[in-house]
Structure 1
Amino acid sequence: MLLVFSFSYKVEAFDYSSNLKYDLSAVPQQWDSGNLPTKHSTAQYRLISCNSTSDTENGACPIEGVYGPKISRSSPINTWGQIKLSLHEKTTHQNIVVDIGALRWSIGCDDRYPWDINQCKLVNTFPSIIVGMDSNTLKNIPAGIWEGHLILNQRDYTSPTNIVEQVGLKLTVEVTDSSKQLIYFPAFPTSDPRVDLNLNYRPGSRTNGAVSGTASLDMCLYDGGTSAKLVQLQFQDESGGLIGKDSSLFTVYRDGADKNKVENTINYKLQVLNPTTGGHDEVLNGKAFVWKDANARNIQRNVVLPGIPGVSLCLPAPLTFITPAFNYAEKTTGHYTGVLKVIYSISTH
């Protein structure tokens, strides 16, 4: 005769949520979730654990509970029970794993314990779970909006394989890096960009010596993950003081020559792709312009920026350099160069 015994536990499951927001210029000393109450008393169900020791998706830690030393209320988070938890960036879908500390305490027992309230009175009081991250963990989370879901099990200490409750924490960490706003040129990731105006002779034009050209430069604007509401750009060069020159144009000069002589200068126009409209804006030399709701069309793209870990989002704003036709016979032969300065600022309001 075969006897089969089975035991059934009704496992309760419920979620808490916590939102943390900070800038990398002012990282908190630590963050903790506050008390996450459980519904089963310390009299029997005093252990907490993870679902896996290796899978970090919902937290990796001991799976049947472990006994830990008593720690004081002010003990640093790195002395708590340690959990590895995956966080996922909301837009770039990048994944990272962070260190989470966990402990338990109960009313009537002022001390804290990792995992198990093993020295508290085993009475019918409902213990709480607290989880947290210290500054070493927080400062290494890149800019972005990161989401994770930690699940901890409350177990029967007399039979640790029995789970009676699952406590979940839906965690959102929004990190900005306001000091890292930058203009990124993908073709020149670590150096100042150089642009050839691509001047070409145009035979058959009204003036047989006509020369003109068009060139492009990919440019992307990174706001430090601050979700900028307003972008301001200004382009300028050193040609503003030239007598008789159209102030809206930009200029390159023959190397080593008198910059005030027309025969030593070549003017060009500048356009930038407007991310809010998809059209091209004419840029005026030295005059700032503003884009409101710059990412309203949701066209930010994933890039890897120098000096910034992981994948970042930047706003595409490619440039077009247009050289109107001119008679090359009126220019002095030589090599022409110029410097264009781009000034970028943002506002989050």
Structure 2
Amino acid sequence: MKYRDLWKWMLACALAAVLPRAAAQQPPETHPSSAHQDIVMSWDRSAIPAEIVLWAPKTLLAYSAADPDAYGTAHLVCRSETDASEGRCPVVGWEEQAGSGGDVWLGATESRSGLRTAIRVAGGIHRPHSGQTCFSGYWSHQMFAPWSSRLERCGVHQSAGIGAQLSIPASELERLVAGKWSAQLTLEMPAQAGGPSLATYTFNLDFTITDHDAVAIYFPLFNHVTPHVGLNLRYDPIAKMIGGRNELDMCLYDGQGSQAAYLGVTVRDSSGRAPGGSGYSAWHVDGGNDDSQRLDYTVTLDHNGTPVPLRNGVEEQLHGIDSARLRLVLLPGMNQPVFCVPTPLTFETPRVPVAEKRNGRYDGALQVELRVPTATP
């Protein structure tokens, strides 16, 4: 080996010997301070977020290496153990052992329907220590429930603060149906179990959820089959007239929590024959194309108490969806109930002389279409 190369090798070894490894960074001195966060998000149920993080792991809330007793047992508690409106969890801390954290149950409300549900917020705390006797990175490897006031000691050092984490897992977000959801989580931070709060942390959650793949025309009496509806014809022997009236229960789900700007409804005569003057017709099952083989009828939709005549093949836009009455239903293929807008249909056959119509059975076919604006409310 050349002397020049040997010199370089000896110099490199010497530098490696005298340069220490980079020291772990000590958490900064941090004193409790109340904070507020607004979490505003939108998504469709076909692409639910993997989770919503309120606090990332080891979010530092308080730390003092100079006075470790000040925040060494600081913890987080709720304002109620029974009411989830601001978060439900223990209201007084205790020395709970390390584990996998703890859950806070938070009440969420859908603004249009008033539907309420409690969702799980997964939480936990880690302890930063006053020194590196046991933890090269200052942080304990153990996670505690948010309300744990347990003090950790290791050699001459101890826990000297609190780092928290909070998140809403996807499994809880899946439980929220389409609509506008709001919730407020409030947590208090005492320094010791049963002591006064040093800081208050609030999270206002505002979620707008759509479910475009679930837009549906729902017929409650025909859950999984095509509706079959009679015209309910009645014969008047004195006037020798026939006519009738019948209803079909129908409910419209817009996939937006019943907050669409409008719903476009179209009814088409799909019998394959040209209907009569009323726009819709049923035909004698034995065939024939003259008037005696045809029964004409009308179709009317009830929207929030207002009758809306439906013309064959012409879309009628129903407005005021965000204030219309609602019905809670379980749609086919869904595992959670949702609110739809009741829009029953009325089929009316005007009275005609019985002598003008052929005796027997008549058949017709209708197709109902629903169009929902693509814009998210």
TM over 0.5: yes
Offset at 1:271? 1.5
Q: Aligned equivalents of 2:352 and 2:330: distance in 1?
A: 39
CA distance 1:61–1:196, shift in 2 (3 Å): same
Q: Is 1:232 aligned to residue 255 of structure 2?
A: no
Partner of 1:304: 329
Q: Is 1:213 aligned to residue 241 of structure 2?
A: no
Offset at 1:183? 1.3
Q: Is 1:268 aligned to residue 297 of structure 2?
A: yes
Q: Is 1:313 aligned to residue 339 of structure 2?
A: yes
How many residues are aligned here?
317
Deviations 1:280-326 (A, max 9, x none): 232222233333x4425x11313222343444222232222121222
CA distance 1:220–1:259, shift in 2 (3 Å): farther
| Greater alpha carbon shift after TM alignment, 60-69 vs 163-172 | 60-69
Q: Aligned equivalents of 1:33 and 1:109: distance in 2?
A: 23
CA distance 1:106–1:232, shift in 2 (3 Å): farther
Partner of 1:279: 306
Q: Which SS does the other structure have where 1:49 is aligned? A: coil
| Greater alpha carbon shift after TM alignment, 50-59 vs 94-103 | 50-59
Kept in 2: contact 1:109–1:121 (CA 8 A) = no
Q: 2:123 aligns with which of 66, 87, 102?
A: 102
Q: Aligned equivalents of 1:17 and 1:121: distance in 2?
A: 34
Q: Aligned equivalents of 2:308 and 2:193: distance in 1?
A: 67
Kept in 1: contact 2:300–2:307 (CA 8 A) = yes
Deviations 1:179-200 (A, max 9, x none): 1111123344444333232222
| Greater alpha carbon shift after TM alignment, 167-176 vs 19-28 | 167-176
Q: Aligned equivalents of 2:112 and 2:203: distance in 1?
A: 21
Query: What is the TM-score when the length of structure 1 is the normalising length?
Result: 0.75
Following superposition of structure 1 onto structure 2, how do residues 2-151 of structure 1 map, counting pairs within 5 Å? 15-34=36-55, 41=63, 43=68, 44-45=70-71, 46-52=74-80, 55-62=83-90, 63-64=92-93, 79-104=100-125, 113-114=143-144, 115=146, 129-151=164-186
Query: What is the TM-score when the length of structure 2 is the normalising length?
Result: 0.70
Kept in 1: contact 2:111–2:179 (CA 8 A) = yes
Q: Aligned equivalents of 1:98 and 1:335: distance in 2?
A: 55
Deviations 1:15-66 (A, max 9, x none): 4332332211111111112469887545423322334555534333344055
Offset at 1:150? 2.1
Kindly report the root-mean-square deviation, in angstroms, between the aligned alpha carbons of the 2 structures: 3.5
Bigger Rg, structure 1 or 2:
2
Partner of 1:163: 196
**Unaligned runs of at least 5 residues, structure 2:** 1-31, 129-136
**Unaligned runs of at least 5 residues, structure 1:** 1-10, 71-78
Report the identity percentage: 23
Partner of 1:252: 282
CA distance 1:109–1:333, shift in 2 (3 Å): farther
CA distance 1:218–1:304, shift in 2 (3 Å): same
Partner of 1:3: none
